Chains A and B, each alone.
Chain A
Amino acid sequence: MVRWNRVLPAGFVTLVVLYLYAPIAVIVIFSFTTSPRLSMPIEGFTLDWYVSALSNPLIATALRNSLVLAATSAVLSGVMGVAFSFGLVAVRRAWLRSTLLAGSLLPAIVPLLVIGIALAVLFRAVGMPQGLLNAAIGHMIVSLPFVVLTMNARLESFDFSTLEAARDLGASAWQAFRDITFPLIRPSVIGAMLLAAALSLDEFVVTWFNIGNQQSVPVLVWGLMRRGVDPSINAIATILLALLVCLVVASNRLGRRNGAS
């Protein structure tokens, strides 16, 4: 006899998981198949699409640009976000602190379209021609709230009396930072920077409005898609996916190790 009260929930969960992952799985699978079309049955497997994607100078440039944007965004929004979070915990008035925190997180919920257009208008007003630099500034705005959020969570549980203990034992302010603060917050900082890199890698809207005639991977893929589905797009998407998964997993692991200590 079929036990419907068990089969139904299990079936539902399976459907949800399929819905979430089937499109991604399709892209990954077809990036390795010989057929140029998305068709069944699969005739054979090949790495040709990766070869043709990576040998395409347009795609190589776009990939390089994307990595530059991700690195810039990770480093700069990392440094800015960490510094800002330290300033934030030093604010004594609770209402001011929570207002500043909320204010710094707001860009995370402002529609990307608004941020993208606003930046484009601003850059034009100050006479900055569209390009990678503009896109990088946009990416920092997009990632900064997430860096602040991560760092703020870490610093709220940070025992600042350990810094006083270090000073008391003879450390200068710099030595206390080097020996105590930095080793303790390092996992969170790296985690936050990886998250910033991940957000930057697949950012499209803000990039598209500000990057001008340069290409990042998402912008290039968007352009290629308008001309029809080229199977090397599957390969690019899979590379991007692999990069993102690595970054997010690493970021999460660091965050968890941090929480355990």
Chain B
Amino acid sequence: MTTPEVEITALHKRFSTQTALDRVDLDIAAGEFVSLLGPSGCGKSTLLRIIAGFEQPTSGTVRIHGEDVTGRPPDKRPTNLVFQRGALFPHMSVRENIGYGLKLRRWDQSRMRARIDEMLALVRLDSMGERLPSQLSGGQAQRVALARALACDPRVLLLDEPLSALDLKLREQMQLELRAIQRRLSATFIFVTHDQTEALVMSDRIAIMNGGRIVQQGTPREIYRRPNSVFVSDFIGATNLLSGEVVGMEGGRLILAIGEARITVPADRASYGTGRRFALSVRPETVRLDRAPGAAGLAATVAEIVYLGSSVRVGARLGGGQLIWADLRDEETEGLDIGTLVALSWNEAAAALVEGNER
């Protein structure tokens, strides 16, 4: 394998009272769009700021394009950062903002003008060059911030929740736009977010962080389908977490006790011995609900029906009291009522056995 564009090794960061990063390792290939995803305080912003050079790690190294940049100030690194709230220079026009990095690099006037025009076109703000930041909408300001950061052609572009201050519609549009720009430039992007949808939509790879560690990394599909912990399965998308205990093995399959019920799952991991407690993550959209008497599956009683428009979310209670949500199409729920007896089942490949404490 070729050298990764960004190599983060055994990174550790302690602030006076708490550990912000705990032995973080992460490799990012050139041209990759990687999201650092996690709840607030998980260390994702600290990691980004260490890559940018605004924070120094307590220990560990950051290499960019094979070169150790740990300890270098931000102005001596081949990275540029898009700030959460743009951080545009309020006394400079859009063009001056975009050209600031180039001016510091002593580009000549005509080359600089051409580059600024190119950047304005890239973010579709061709006619806005002479405006001041105070005359821009939130979305326009973030586009200028992006253009300013990209103008210097950084090896790695860092983005610190740049869309979080925008409203939903604009955010969704900007997500696709950012993704398109990244593909067109084949640039390396590291994107920090706490919004799982955003990470799923944009990323080649997601690194999920919690408590200063990367708890899982993989493609959006891998992470959604095969979460490796209760935390990840709960953080990414909606899920049903069924807690229970391994009570036996049968022909390479584990027998699980969930309350009174018994179900079997493929023993794809050897570590689940008898007596072990676990959680099974089942996505609501994979749950089937059968009203025929004697149908196979877990017996349950419908307890909640929530109409969502494009689908209907039905909550059914198991004998043990646990509520399981199923996302059904509208027509599938006709005649369904609270109190209806049903059998719940799911494609076992769609369920993931996860470790971690229950909520």
Contact = CB atoms under 8 A, between A and B. Distances in A.
Interface of A: 159, 161-162, 164-172, 175, 179-180, 183-184, 261
Given A162-B89, A169-B101, A171-B104, 5 more contacts: A159-B85, A165-B148, A167-B74, A170-B75, A172-B75
Given A169-B152, A184-B90, A261-B90, A164 B101 contact: no
Contact of B100 (A161, A179, A183, A261): A179
B85 A161 contact: yes
A63 to B, nearest CB: 38
Binding site of A, secondary structure by majority: helix, strand, loop or mixed? helix
Contact of B104 (A159, A170, A183): A170
Interface of B: 52-54, 73-75, 79-81, 83-85, 87-91, 100-101, 104-105, 134, 148-149, 152
Contacts of B100: 166, 169, 171, 179
Contacts of A183: 91
A184 to B, nearest CB: 6
Interface centre among A168, A171, A183 (most CB of B within 10 A): A168
B73 A170 contact: no
A164 B104 contact: no
Interface centre among A165, A172, A180 (most CB of B within 10 A): A165
A41 B46 CA distance: 78
A164 B152 contact: no
12 contacts: A159-B87, A161-B84, A161-B85, A162-B87, A162-B89, A164-B87, A169-B152, A170-B75, A175-B104, A180-B89, A184-B91, A261-B90
Contacts of B75: 167-172
A162 B88 contact: yes
A159 B81 CA distance: 16
Contacts of B134: 261
Given A169-B104, A170-B75, A170-B101, A164 B91 contact: no
A261 B89 CA distance: 11
A161 B74 CA distance: 13
A168 B80 contact: yes
Given A169-B100, A170-B104, A172-B75, A164 B148 contact: no
Nearest to B91: A183
Contacts of B88: 162, 165
Contacts of A171: 75, 100, 104
B80 to A, nearest CB: 6
Contacts of A161: 83-85, 87
A167 B148 CA distance: 13
B113 to A, nearest CB: 18
Contacts of A168: 52-54, 74-75, 79-81, 149
A207 B86 CA distance: 49
Q: List 3 A-B pairs, minimum CB-CB distance, nearest first.
A: A169-B101, A161-B87, A165-B87
B52 A162 contact: no
Contact of A164 (B83, B90, B105, B149): B83
Contacts of B90: 159, 162, 184, 261
B345 to A, nearest CB: 52
